[in-house]
Amino acid sequence: MSHQPRLVMRFTMLVLALLASLAPAAGWGQDHGESRNNWFRVSWQPGALPSTIEGDVANTSPFRAIDVRLQIEGVDGGNHRTGERLVWASDDIAPGGRTSYFAEAIPGAVHYRVTVVSFELVSEDGAVAADEAATSEPAPPAP
């Protein structure tokens, strides 16, 4: 009796186990009420590319929002923080509008808390009001 079928089966099971351990955790969510002054609503979901997440930022204020910066906190199954990333929203957000963001997944995270940590509001006449109190470090230049 040949050992080849048994060897092929073991190899197949090893490959499947490896692929399952490398796949990102599936999940999605919305985080209402944690964004600065409730003028923003954020959501997240697994990204279209492996090991990424993506989401939307909605602006419920009556002002255009520019330079919107997000903090993404990764949380494991025990609700322990596994890391964080800071990213910029993709575009300015018109009043009542939305834009997207993209980030690398955080290793070990099965859930994410996404919060707007800084932004600037632009009124109809072009005046800018910065919300600098929401972040503890200076924002890097926008990409």
Give 107's contacts (C-beta < 8 A, 6+ positions apart): 74, 82, 83
Segments making up each domain of the chain, as ranges: 25-131
User: What tens digit of pLDDT does each residue of 62-102 get?
Assistant: 999 999 999 999 999 999 999 999 999 999 999 999 999 99
Q: Which tokens sit at 48?
A: 């279209």
Q: Which residue has the tokens 């600098």?
A: 132
User: What tens digit of pLDDT does each residue of 131-141 get?
Assistant: 533 332 333 33
Kindly indicate the confidence band of residue 8, based on its pLDDT and cuts at 50, 70 and 90.
Answer: low
- Burial (CB count <10 Å: 0-12, 13-18, 19+), residue 45: middle
For domain 25-131, give the CATH number: 2.60.40
- The per-residue pLDDT for 106 is 96
Q: Which tokens sit at 86?
A: 């800071």
pTM for the predicted model, two decimal places: 0.64
Q: At residue 27, what are phi and psi to the nearest 5 degrees?
A: 175, 165
pLDDT above 60 (res 15): no
Number of alpha carbons in the 13 Å side-chain half-sphere of residue 54? 9
For residues 106 and 74, is the Cβ–Cβ distance under 8 A? yes
Q: Which tokens sit at 130?
A: 């910065």
